[in-house]
């Protein structure tokens, strides 16, 4: 692979590590490609943000292929993860501390399965207040952290598949296949609310985007090694 190949366009599948932002992955790979092939500049973008606390498939496009990003973003996505019942957090995940506890004695597998039915198909969903969406030119998470009151309109998303793969000690392991624009953190929050127990996301991994699978993705270190670079200095 040459620098010209990356300028003409490549699709790179990365297994995003925990605690990295999607933007950090893009910056790292852009810098590595520029250094390796002595390029003054090259376009690199990702096709769908993953939160820092999420891992899994991140599709990156280089050069002229950055024009294809919208096509990738429009495809359905598959995730696996864990919902913890009985407590909520303002961010709907572990980014913020628990703000309320709720009873869980009433929760049974039958109740969970019956509640799942309400979350399949087209549903109304509000994005989390702690998200990168903008309102009046400001990021929602900046407004939330500043303590501003935010009214977020709901929007339609489609949940193609939603199943519980394991249920132990109020931890619900799940798999979900959903449309573009779905927030899994909101799904976890809303599902806990529907169970009258509260809930938040404690783990998330994106496993597929369209026909692309995380099984075919590289770790960042593996990609760097494939370019013939020396060991990265993180």
Please list the active-site residues: 51
Burial pattern 160-170, b for ≥16 Cβ within 10 A else e, equals eebebeebeee
What secondary structure letter does DSSP report for 139? E
Q: For strands 54-62 and 171-178, give the pairing.
A: unpaired
Give the CA dihedral 9, 11, 12, 18, nearest 10 degrees: 120
Would you say 57 and 217 are in contact if contact means Cβ atoms under 8 Å apart?
A: yes
| Rounded Cα–Cα distance for residues 56 and 67 (Å) | 23
């Amino acid at each position: 692979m040459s620098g010209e190949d990356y300028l003409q366009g490549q699709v790179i599948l990365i297994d995003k590590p925990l605690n990295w932002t999607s933007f950090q992955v893009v910056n790292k790979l852009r810098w590595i490609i520029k250094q390796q092939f002595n390029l003054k500049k090259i376009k690199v973008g990702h096709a769908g943000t993953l939160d820092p606390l999420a891992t899994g498939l991140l599709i990156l496009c280089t050069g002229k292929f950055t024009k294809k990003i919208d096509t990738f973003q429009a495809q359905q996505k598959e995730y696996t993860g864990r919902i913890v019942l009985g407590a909520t957090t303002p961010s709907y995940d572990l980014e913020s501390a628990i703000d309320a506890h709720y009873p869980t004695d009433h929760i049974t597998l039958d109740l969970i399965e019956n509640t799942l039915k309400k979350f399949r198909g087209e549903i109304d969903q509000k994005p989390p207040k702690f998200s990168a969406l903008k309102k009046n030119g400001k990021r929602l998470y900046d407004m939330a952290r500043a303590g501003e009151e935010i009214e977020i309109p709901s929007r339609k998303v489609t949940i193609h598949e939603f199943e519980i793969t394991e249920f132990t000690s109020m931890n619900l392991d799940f798999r979900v296949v959903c449309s573009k624009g779905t927030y899994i953190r909101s799904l976890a929050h809303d599902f806990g609310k529907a169970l009258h127990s509260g809930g938040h996301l404690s783990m998330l991994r994106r496993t597929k985007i369209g026909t692309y699978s995380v099984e075919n993705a590289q770790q960042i270190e593996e990609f760097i090694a494939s370019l013939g670079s020396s060991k990265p200095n993180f």
